[in-house]
Structure 1
Amino acid sequence: MKKTHFLLSFLALGLINSCQNNDEMVDQSPGQLEIHSKTVNVTTHDGRPFSTGSGNSVNGKFVSGPGGGVLMQGFYWDVPDGGNWWDTVKGKVTDWSNAGIGAIWLPPASKAQNGAYSMGYDPTDYYDFGNFNQNGSVETRFGSRTELEALITKAHTENMQVYADIVINHNSGGQSQANPFTGTNTWTDFSGVASGKFPRSYNDFYKNSYGNNDEGAFGGFPDLCHANPYVQDWLWGRDDSVAKYYKNVMKFDGWRFDYVKGFGPWVVNTWNANVGGFSVGELWDSNVNTLEWWANNANSSVFDFAAYYKMDEAFDNGNLNALNDDMMWKRNPYKAVTFVSNHDTDIINNKMLAYAYILTHEGYPTIFYRDYEEWLNKERLNNLIWIHNNKATGNTSILYTDNDEYIARRNGYNGNPGLVVYINNSSSWQERWIQTNWASQQIKDFTGSSNWYPTTQGDKWVKIQCAPNSYSVWSLNQ
């Protein structure tokens, strides 16, 4: 949901492991630096999508493997109107697949109050994908139903998944009707939706016979009442419910739930139990306890806002020690979707360091469309995606932090060697001795920033380096 203004109009869940942060001293080898190590005991998941990287994909299609998947947010706020967006994204799907991106998150796809100008967060008719003439247009801002279906088909051809942005907290665009629960007229008459599916009236919104309110309302819009069995039936119960229609007819593979602060986590849990598919909730809260509570009760992934705000503190405010703090991915990487920016919020300025962080660490990393296609260096992002998909395996040990430097080790999994990431937020080259998991083996920087090819000592120690205001990622030279 757009939080600053609003237009009116892995993928498989694994076992949940608790995390323990253990501070330990690494034995100091002769002539080497003493390094404090914090190990985050979380289990690596090897079932999320993975790509061999650009130039190594199989028949140009996304290929799964050990490193995990990468999600593309396939839109930004106020993408061009005119009904061309679905075709725009469709034209990029093959390149994204080749880069190692395994899933696309699309904006709300159904007709909203502002018709051809709406970003979709003011939904009117959940079954109008740009094929009914209502709210002033046939097509949505993004295009027609035919174009949307062609985009989803194209993504599936590339072995990619497509996630629907679902807005079920509130509705907009209803007609005025007398409401006995308020004693006034309310805009809650959705009996005339063009699709004829999920007609609604005042008793389907708070306040009503089920109560005065739920967890939260948004923007003064009619607040959908999930306690009403009729609403539940249309959202996920019926064979032609919103959830089942999106999955079985439109062929969406998963869900991004908007503004989940507005209703209980049981709603998402029940949706998932009835329909399945990947799901992630937008719980805008930096408190990791709140994020974990919601994810567990919703049986869903959640956006890691705790990591988001810590990255801003680290990379923009010169305090890389903030990366020692707790985050959702440290609690449960299976349920943490990490991100650097999105359509709602964009506060991190030093974005390449932030992407180097999320694409080398646990969790399910998201890339923002404008960062990838417009604002940042696509070649460098593709390199990080390749590193993520090929090398980012195993649990995480934080090897060193200070205000300007951060070094962490992914410990490898099931024969994959893992990696060491070195992030340097200072204005000069830095070097440090660190302990790897590799004895007497040559390593290299897979970003190409450093031309060193050091060999680890028998005790697994080695000196690595990092360029100013940059990052390097080290692994076995193989």
Structure 2
Amino acid sequence: MKTFKFIYFLLAVSFLMVSCGKDEILDSVEPESAKPEESISTRAGLKAIGSGVMMQAFYWDVPAGGTWWNVVKGKVSSWSNAGVDAIWLPPVSKAQNGTFSMGYDPFDYYDFGQYNQMGSTETRFGSKTELESLISRAHNNGLSVIADIVINHNSGGDLEWNEFAGKNTYTKFNPMSNKFNRTKYDFHPNESYNSDSGIFGGFPDLSHKKAYVQDWLWKRSNSVAKYYKNTMGFDGWRFDYVKGFEPWVVREWKNAVGGFSVGEYWDGNVNTLDWWTSEAQVSAFDFACYYKMRDAFVGNNLNALSGDMLWKRNASRAVTFVANHDTDEIYTNKLLAYAYILTHEGYPALFYRDYEDWLDKNKLNNLIWIHNNLAGGNTSNLWTDNDEYIARRNGGGGKNGLIVYINNSNSWKERWIQTNWSSRRIKDYTGNSSWEPITQGGKWVKIQAPPKGYTVWSLK
């Protein structure tokens, strides 16, 4: 969830919402289980989620004016060709601030840019017709489309007397879609429930234990979940701010409609992430990995990569990332961080601006190819110190495995390491080294990596 950067109007009052040691085996798993648990697509003709990488197809404050859906539509073919298997879109429904909003202040869950309300017909990103065209183009290119679901809080309701709060509250919602109308009885506090896990930004907080709220969110035949999947064509879900409600909410949504699901539980504590994914029975963004990479690549100490991460606990429920629309703290050595997540277990996500604007797209495409074609099996840590990190993917699922060598020093480095291949020629698939050594009978070989760079070795 992004800290809000738009003007939030409440009647006539407006205010700004700002808004590892050598030879360590890292949580061995069977090669088949390293993909996301929801890896089999439910829609014919799409790539299995987990066969490639996810693209976060937006950033904070993308250009307004209703053009974004068409921008993304123009890129899905090249993304698919590069090895992307799913795109994650921002919240698609009409929010209180209309064309000014990034969608995280939802008002009408069924207005995708077709109703004139909240100051506009289109959303910031475009019209319903343009959204449908984008989804169709994505599907035609084999890509799943992941919806950003904001169900902790709502915004834009009218004022009503609220005896449960003892004051007037903005909890009367009469959207033009005439679907999921809401009143004070659907938010906290109400006649039955005072609160849940947490509120956000002072917005009305949905009460998920209320039967009416459950019906409209995921149970009814035209619930938000079923309408988004069956009518709009979404294939999966990114749940915003899941700290604000209990994990059973996500679990019940997923059980009702299926599809790949990942929660934004913003916490670097791997125990907490492991608990939440177990309770919700879906994936989570691996913030533990993110913060360890920040310490490693910004703090210039690769020993941080020896720390615990969600992908080391349960790779099938870890979505790894280097940056997103909320946080972009790995501002140095970012390509090394991508070399890390694209060679390791978990389901990697790419950030739009990194791929399209800021980093070398050819190098990222090379790493995507390596991930999709070589990075199979569990992980063995071969070497970690302040400046060097070497790990082996042991192969499986039709992939030979690889050795990744990350060098954060200012000079070339070389090391003898043990592979899984005896008397075989290997090469660096990044092109950063021209060596093509033959492994010894005992599977040992010397490899190298350039300064502030990386190499990825596998069978030639």
TM > 0.5: yes
Partner of 2:31: 44
**Alpha-carbon distance in 2 for matches of 1:64, 1:337:** 15
Q: Does the Cα contact within 8 Å between 1:306 and 1:327 map onto a contact in 2?
A: yes
Cα deviation for residue 7 of structure 1 reads 5.3
Equivalent residue number for residue 206 of structure 2:
224
Q: 1: CA distance between counterparts of 2:326 and 2:110?
A: 25
Aligned amino acid, residue 302 of structure 1: A
1:155 counterpart SS class:
helix
Of 349, 353, 362, the residue aligned with 1:370 is 353
Letter of the 1:364 counterpart: Y
- Post-superposition Cα deviations, 1:113-147, rounded to whole Å, max 9, x if no partner, equal 00011000000000000000000000000000000
* Cα distance between partner residues in 1 of 2:186 and 2:457: 56
Partner of 1:355: 338
Tell me how many residue pairs correspond in the alignment.
441
Distance 1:36 1:280 in 2: 32
CA distance in 2, matches of 1:128, 1:270: 24
Counterpart of 2:143 in structure 1 is 160
Give 2:66's aligned residue. Answer: 83
Task: State the distance in 1 between where 2:435 and 2:48 align.
Answer: 31
Query: Cα offset for 1:36?
Result: 4.1
Aligned-residue sequence identity (percent) comes to 66
SS at structure 1 position matched to 2:329 = coil
SS of residue in 1 equivalent to 2:191: coil
- Residues 227-376 of structure 1: matches in 2 within 5 Å? 227-349=209-331, 350-376=333-359
Instruction: Provide TM-score, normalisation by structure 2.
Output: 0.93
Q: Deviations over 1:433-453 (max 9, x none)?
A: 000000000000000000000
Could you say what secondary structure the match of 1:434 adopts?
strand
The answer to whether the 8 A contact 2:54-2:86 is kept is yes
Answer whether contact 2:323 2:329 (CA < 8 A) is retained.
yes
What is the CA deviation profile of residues 41-77 of structure 1, one whole-angstrom value per residue up to 9, with x for unaligned ones?
123237959xxxxxxxxxxx98669x83200000000
For the pair 1:139 / 2:122, whether they are aligned, the reply is yes
**Distance of 1:240 and 1:4 partners within structure 2:** 30
CA apart distance, 1:8: 3.0
Q: What is aligned with 2:387?
A: 404
Aligned partners of 2:34 and 2:377 also within 8 Å: no
Structure 1 residue 255 displacement after superposition: 0.3
Task: Kindly state the Cα deviation for residue 335 of structure 1 after the two structures are TM-superposed.
Answer: 0.4
Question: 1 CA distance for matches of 2:221 and 2:132?
Answer: 20
**Structure 1 residues not aligned, in runs of 5+:** 10-20, 24-34, 50-60
Instruction: Indicate conservation of the 8 Å contact 1:320/1:403, yes or no.
Output: yes
Change (3 A) 1:217 1:39: closer
Unaligned runs of 5+ in 2: 10-19, 37-44
**C-alpha root-mean-square deviation of aligned residues, in Å?**
1.6
1:116 counterpart letter in structure 2:
T
Residue pair 2:382, 2:417 contacting (<8 A) in 1 also: yes
The residue type equivalent to 1:3 in the other structure is T
SS of equivalent residue, structure 2 residue 243: helix
Deviations 1:190-209 (A, max 9, x none): 0x200000000001000001
| CA distance in 1: counterparts of 2:435 and 2:311, whole angstroms | 31
Question: Judging changes above 3 Å, is the alpha-carbon distance between structure 1 residues 271 and 415 closer, same or farther for their aligned structure 2 residues?
Answer: closer
Taking the aligned partners of 2:168 and 2:398, their CA distance within structure 1 comes to: 65
User: Is 1:456 aligned to 2:439, yes or no?
Assistant: yes
1:172-251 map, 5 Å? 172-190=155-173, 192-251=174-233
CA distance 1:402–1:183, change in 2 (3 Å): same
